[in-house]
Amino acid sequence: MESIVEQLSEEESLRLAAGSEVGRIGFTGRYGPIILPVNFRIVDGAVVFRTEADSALVEDLRTGIPDAEYRVAFEVDDIDKAERAGWSVMIQGPAHYLEEAEERAVAEAAGVDPWIGGDKETYISIRPALVTGRRIRRG
């Protein structure tokens, strides 16, 4: 069977991403490119996830310069191996630490719930600058 590749709109891409709870953050760390799975929610149009304050992830993503933010990629997909089909979405944007009381309260209320325990009290959001998505299906 032929494969059909369809580009998804930004709206459709964000809708699909919002239905998932595991995505993958990609960025350039101290030792080169990194991809790490995280549990996330879409909150007010942005990806939000939690991590530990002293994690390598947090150290890598802190620029040390107020209001300067690293640009990262966030990928979500749903793949059906049997059908050799599925969709994937990539969200690119700056990684922002939720440190102000108001933005923090909104994220906390959304209930971002990591599968792994520990003191994950650092909230990071990725506000989409560019959203792309595609779907592969059998013709």
Look at residues 131, 138, 123 and name the one whose alpha carbon lies nearest to residue 76: 131
Q: Is 90 in the site for a second copy (CB under 8 A)?
A: yes
The two tokens of residue 87 are: 């969709």
Kindly give the residue spans of alpha helices, DSSP state H, lying in 4-133.
10-18, 56-61, 101-109
Sign, Cα dihedral of 29, 33, 35, 40: positive
The answer to whether residues 65 and 41 touch, using CB atoms and an 8 Å cutoff, is: no
Is there binding between residue 77 and a second copy (CB under 8 A)?
yes
Q: Which of residues 30-69 bind a second copy (CB under 8 A)?
A: 31-37
Residue listed under structure tokens 């790490």 = 36
The stretch near a second copy (CB under 8 A) out of 24-32, 50-58, 60-68, 102-110 is 24-32
User: Residue 81, interface with a second copy (CB under 8 A)?
Assistant: yes
- The alpha carbon of residue 36 and the mean position of all alpha carbons in its chain are separated, in whole angstroms, by 10
Q: Is 124 in the site for a second copy (CB under 8 A)?
A: no
24 binds a second copy (CB under 8 A): yes
Q: Taking CB under 8 A as the rule, does residue 22 contact a second copy? A: yes
Q: How far apart are CA 71 and CA 99, in angstroms?
A: 18
Residue 88 as a binder of a second copy (CB under 8 A): the answer is yes
Q: Which is nearer to a second copy, 27 or 104 (CB)?
A: 27
3 binds a second copy (CB under 8 A): yes
Q: List residues binding a second copy (CB under 8 A).
A: 2-3, 5, 21-22, 24, 26-28, 31-37, 71-75, 77, 79, 81, 84-85, 88, 90, 92, 115-117, 130, 136
